[in-house]
Chains A and B, each alone.
Chain A
Amino acid sequence: MTPADAETSGTGGGLRYLTEEACPDVVAQEQSHSCQVACARQLLIDAGVFVSEVELLAQTEYYEGSGTDATDVARTLTALHPDFEYAGGGSFLKYFATFMTIAPWIASLQTDSGSIHAVIVDRSVGDVVHIRDPWGASGPGSEFGCRATMALKDFKRYWRRAYYVVIYRKRPRQETQP
């Protein structure tokens, strides 16, 4: 993994990553504001469910130029994920440690350029947060997304500015009786 240039790293320069590396096992978002859906797609792929971004967008309310709502993406994830039900909405800083116990989860971050961008939070080690970012090396439509690391204090600052929006697995899927 290479050290990231603070001027150019993360979401076209909007997030201050410590390191950043394009990875073939991380999907890239295909639309300018489809980052939440791309993160959901990655969690589905992790669970062995292969679905295109186009198919996911068709099942999620996507506002061109505005993106998606966390509750809606959580609903789509719940419908398609084989193992878990998901929830989404605005949370609070004090729950960061709680969310880390059930990682990976999706966080919305407000970048330095003002846009809200969703990433997958995989783990937190000391003062460093490990992230999968669907933005990709050349933005939407890149071949791959990135694995990146970010200082915990920066992560909390970016997360606060997006009022701590999360999408996370709340419990194992409840099977209904036929």
Chain B
Amino acid sequence: MTVAEAKRTLELEGIYVSMSDRESFWIAGSFEFVEVGRDNVRLSQDACVLFRKNDHWQAVLPGLGMLTREVYGSLDELVALIVSVYRHYRQSGGPLYRAVEQVVADAERYLVGGVPARV
């Protein structure tokens, strides 16, 4: 799957995709325009990111509070995973992290951020 195909696959699912470069996706199920001074910015409560890291791709998905789940894989695998997460999220409602917990197999394995660095 190419980057363009990945973007198209996500958009065909009704998922919003914005790219800061050819190897970095910002992904959201929904967003609203919120004021910032005289401008408006897109602000989402259900965002995640997907980006290339060395020779593989990495998805960073939300966990409870300030925790995240990091999943590595090929672009095809991670796009398929993200599509499944957002389908479940739309069908079941609730926060996005709940859909991640329910869709990602062995979700606890991917949880990061529970223990801050060298306390």
Contact = CB atoms under 8 A, between A and B. Distances in A.
B contact residues, range: 35 or more
A104 interface: no
A71 interface: yes
Interface in A139-168: 139-140, 160-164, 166, 168
Contacts of A13: 117-118
B60 to A, nearest CB: 6
Interface in A32-54: 32-33, 35-36
A113 B113 CA distance: 8
A13 B118 CA distance: 7
B34 A87 contact: yes
A116 B49 CA distance: 14
Interface residues of A, number: 50
A66 B63 contact: yes
Contact of A110 (B18, B46, B68, B115): B68
Contact of A12 (B64, B66, B117): B117
B116 A32 contact: yes
A69 B63 CA distance: 10
Interface of B: 18, 20, 24, 26, 28, 34-37, 39, 41-49, 51, 60, 62-68, 70, 112-119
Interface of A: 11-14, 32-33, 35-36, 62-63, 65-69, 71, 87-95, 98-99, 101-102, 108, 110-118, 139-140, 160-164, 166, 168, 170-171
15 contacts: A13-B118, A32-B119, A89-B34, A89-B47, A90-B26, A92-B20, A98-B36, A102-B36, A110-B60, A111-B117, A115-B66, A139-B119, A160-B24, A162-B68, A164-B49
